[in-house]
Amino acid sequence: MTRAVLLETRALQIGSAHALCAPLDLSLAAGELLLVSGDNGVGKSTLLRTLAGEQAPLAGQLLTHGSPRIRHLPQHAGQQLSGPFSVADLLRLNGQGDLQHPWVPAQRRQRVDRLSGGQRQRLLLAMLLSQPGDLLLLDEPGQYLDQPSQAQLQDWLAEPTAALGMAAVVMVSHDQLHFSRAQRLHLQGLADG
Amino acid sequence: MAEQLLLFMPGLLLGTLLAGLLGALGVMLRVREEALAAFSLAQVAVLGGMLAALAGVPQLLGAWSSAVLLALLAVWWLKPVGLIGPSQHLWILLLAWGAGLLLADNHPQARLLSSSAIEGQLLLLSWERLPAYLLLALLSAALLALLLRRWLATQLLPWRHSTPSVLLAGLRELTVVGLLAVGALSMGIFVTLALVVIPAWLVWSRAASLGSALWLSALYALLMHLLAFSLALWLDQVYSALLVVLLGVSAVALALCWQISRRAAG
* Interface membership of A64 toward B (CB under 8 Å): no
- How confident is the model over A66-121, as pLDDT tens digits? 888 889 999 999 888 889 999 999 999 999 999 999 999 999 999 999 999 999 99
Residue A97 DSSP label: T
pLDDT at A131: 86
* Interface membership of A86 toward B (CB under 8 Å): yes
A193 pLDDT band, cuts 50/70/90, is very low
* Interface membership of A94 toward B (CB under 8 Å): yes
How many whole angstroms separate alpha carbon B96 and alpha carbon B74?
10
| Helix or strand (DSSP H, E) at A88 | helix A87-93
Chain B residues in contact with A86 by the CB 8 A cut-off are: 208-210
Mutate to test the interface with B, among A54, A73, A85 (most CBs of B within 10 A): A85
* Interface membership of A69 toward B (CB under 8 Å): no
pLDDT at B166 over 90: no
Domain boundaries, chain B: 2-265
* Angle at the Cα of B120 from the Cα atoms of B131 and B103, rounded to 5 degrees: 100
Interval B235-245 mean pLDDT: 94
- How confident is the model over A155-168, as pLDDT tens digits? 888 776 555 667 88
% of chain B surpassing 70 pLDDT: 91
Mean of the per-residue pLDDT values of chain A? 87
pLDDT at B165: 67
B153–A52: do the CB atoms touch at under 8 Å? no
Interval B135-160 mean pLDDT: 88
Q: Chain B closest CA to A186's CA: distance in Å?
A: 24
- Which among A83, A86, A124 has CB closest to B31? A83
Burial letters B164-193, b for 16+ CB under 10 A, else e:
eeeeeeebbbbbbbbbbbbbbbbbbbbbbb
Cβ atoms < 10 Å from Cβ of B3:
6
B156–A85: do the CB atoms touch at under 8 Å? yes
pLDDT at B75: 63
The topology (CATH level 3) of A5-192 is: Rossmann fold (3.40.50)
Strands of the A33-38 sheet, one edge to the other = A70-73, A135-139, A168-172, A33-38, A182-187
Q: Chain A closest CA to B158's CA: distance in Å?
A: 6
pLDDT at B164 over 60: no
A149 pLDDT band, cuts 50/70/90, is very high
Task: Report ipTM for this prediction.
Answer: 0.82
Interval A180-186 mean pLDDT: 78
- Which among B30, B158, B213 has CB closest to A77? B158
Q: Report the candidate in B26, B16, B17, B21 with the shortest Cα–Cα distance to residue B207.
A: B26
A54–B161: do the CB atoms touch at under 8 Å? yes
- Which among A74, A85, A89 has CB closest to B158? A74
Chain B residues in contact with A80 by the CB 8 A cut-off are: 158
Cβ atoms < 10 Å from Cβ of A71:
25
pLDDT at B199 over 50: yes
A84–B158: do the CB atoms touch at under 8 Å? no
How many whole angstroms separate alpha carbon B15 and alpha carbon B134?
10
Chain B residues in contact with A138 by the CB 8 A cut-off are: none
Beta bridge partners of B22: none
Range in B102-106, B109-113, B139-143 the model is least confident about: B109-113
pLDDT at A176: 64
Domain boundaries, chain A: 5-192
- Which among A70, A80, A109 has CB closest to B162? A70
- How confident is the model over A124-134, as pLDDT tens digits? 999 998 888 88
Q: Chain B closest CA to A18's CA: distance in Å?
A: 17
Chain B residues in contact with A17 by the CB 8 A cut-off are: none
Single-letter amino acid code for the residue at B201:
W
| Helix or strand (DSSP H, E) at A90 | helix A87-93
% of chain B surpassing 90 pLDDT: 41
Chain A residues in contact with B156 by the CB 8 A cut-off are: 81, 85, 90, 93
How many whole angstroms separate alpha carbon A13 and alpha carbon A4?
24
Chain A residues in contact with B210 by the CB 8 A cut-off are: 84-86, 89
Q: Looking at the domain that runs over B2-265, which CATH code has it been given? A: 1.10.3470.10
Beta strands, E only, A86-181? 135-139, 168-172
Q: Chain A closest CA to B72's CA: distance in Å?
A: 22
